[in-house]
Structure 1
């Protein structure tokens, strides 16, 4: 549940910050009459994300076993690629996020109501679709029924509350450090999802080595034990992974974490690590 809570919190907070910036800008520039189109776009983005998640869940249940494994493995790899891009993008462009959104909003205001709806929809929709895809693949990886969904929902609700507190100026937090450390933790979670996706593709017959295990410590860490369940839920740990799973996991997590936590070497990169006050106009 914790891993999915982290996903919901991390991804949801990005969307919440985007909404805060859009709303704060309209309020501070005395354009409250343009708020309804923005909320319409946000609502449409949320609805699309929920529909996408439902499509993934119910659509995959009608497929054959091989097709399910192929779909699960392919979407796992895709979600890991999107999340990896997202954590690096957020760390690099956080400082300019506010001005970028303000520029898009000014252009949308000049074009009319429809453009406002589209701007809000696109700003939030990308985060929502990424979140739906990653949560779905994480849920498939853990295979733990409703607990992952409960964790993700609690994370999303927490992000909404934090976003509201940021908007009201009632909460101050170093968002640069928050996104850095949660991003690093998310990379570890993504590595587990990637390994799970590789196993799916092996079961579907697209990758070799399904019967070649790197190690098997199932007797030491049983899958049904409480600590085995915790390791599975948080890190997608598998006590009997294939050799290819271990190779892919290490080949992803080691270089990605090194690049992610590497300190910037020039002033421009250092400046990109800060996050602006989202409540300012």
Structure 2
């Protein structure tokens, strides 16, 4: 539940910040006539994201077990790729997001209302599709419990509320720090989703090694225990983990975490001060007194 709550919070806050920046900018430049185009784009993006989530949930039903496992495993791996790109992109550009969006909106306004709809649709829709896919993968890997769905819903609601109070100026948060530390957590979560995807493909017979275990701690941490449920819900930990799952988790989490910490936590370099060189003076010939 915690993992899906944080995914919903982070992804929802990104979308809320995008909307808030677009709306605030139009109000500031006194182009309120364009607000309806922004909200139209947001509405379309929301509908597309919900439809995508429904397709992911209902689409595989009726297929064979192997086909469902192949689809689930493949989409889980795709979700890990998207969330990894998003983590690095936001960690790098969080400080410049406002200027980037305002520049894109200026260009769209110059073209017309349709361009503003398209611009807001793409900006918010990207976040929505990423959220749908990664939340779907997280909920699938957590099993049939309703806790992941509840956590994701609470995260999205908290993101909407937080985005609103930030827009109103009631709360100020350090977005760079927020995206840094949630990025660290999501790298670990994504590693668990990747391992789950690998396991699905092993069950479908696409990948080998389903019966070759790296470790089995079921006697100590059973899947039905409180600790097992928490580890499964947060990190997608499986008491009986195959060698290929453990290898995929390690090869993803270790280098990804190393690169993310190096890039996202790097102190921004202060702009170099301009140095003023002394202006060379020409030798002025001495004048003799008359």
Q: TM-score, normalised by structure 1?
A: 0.93
Point out the structure with the larger helix share. 1
The equivalent residue for 2:68 is 68
Specify the SS of the correspondent of 1:156.
helix
1:88 aligns with 2:88: yes
The equivalent residue for 2:269 is 267
Number of equivalenced pairs: 269
The 1:178/1:266 distance shift into structure 2, 3 A limit, reads closer
Partners of 1:233 and 1:264 lie apart in 2 by 31
Larger mean CA deviation between 108-117 and 228-237 belongs to 108-117
Moved over 6 A (4+): none
The equivalent residue for 2:158 is 158
1:175 aligns with 2:175: yes
Partners of 2:241 and 2:270 lie apart in 1 by 42
1:116-151 alpha-carbon deviations (Å, 9 max, x no partner):
111110000000000000000111101033211111
Contact 2:41/2:121 (<8 A) preserved: yes
Partners of 2:268 and 2:151 lie apart in 1 by 39
Q: TM-score, normalised by structure 2?
A: 0.90
Partners of 2:182 and 2:108 lie apart in 1 by 32
Counterparts in 2 of 1:224-243, with a 5 A limit? 224-243=224-243
1:107 aligns with 2:107: yes
Partners of 1:107 and 1:242 lie apart in 2 by 52
The equivalent residue for 1:145 is 145
Specify the SS of the correspondent of 1:215.
strand
The 1:265/1:10 distance shift into structure 2, 3 A limit, reads closer
Partners of 1:175 and 1:102 lie apart in 2 by 18
Partners of 2:101 and 2:177 lie apart in 1 by 22
The alpha-carbon deviation at position 226 of structure 1 amounts to: 1.5
Bigger radius of gyration: 2
RMSD: 1.3
Partners of 1:134 and 1:63 lie apart in 2 by 22
Structure 1 gaps of 5+ residues are 270-281
1:65-117 alpha-carbon deviations (Å, 9 max, x no partner):
11111001111110001000101000111222112111111111111111111
Partners of 1:72 and 1:253 lie apart in 2 by 21
Structure 2 gaps of 5+ residues are 272-290
The equivalent residue for 1:19 is 19
Specify the SS of the correspondent of 2:215.
coil
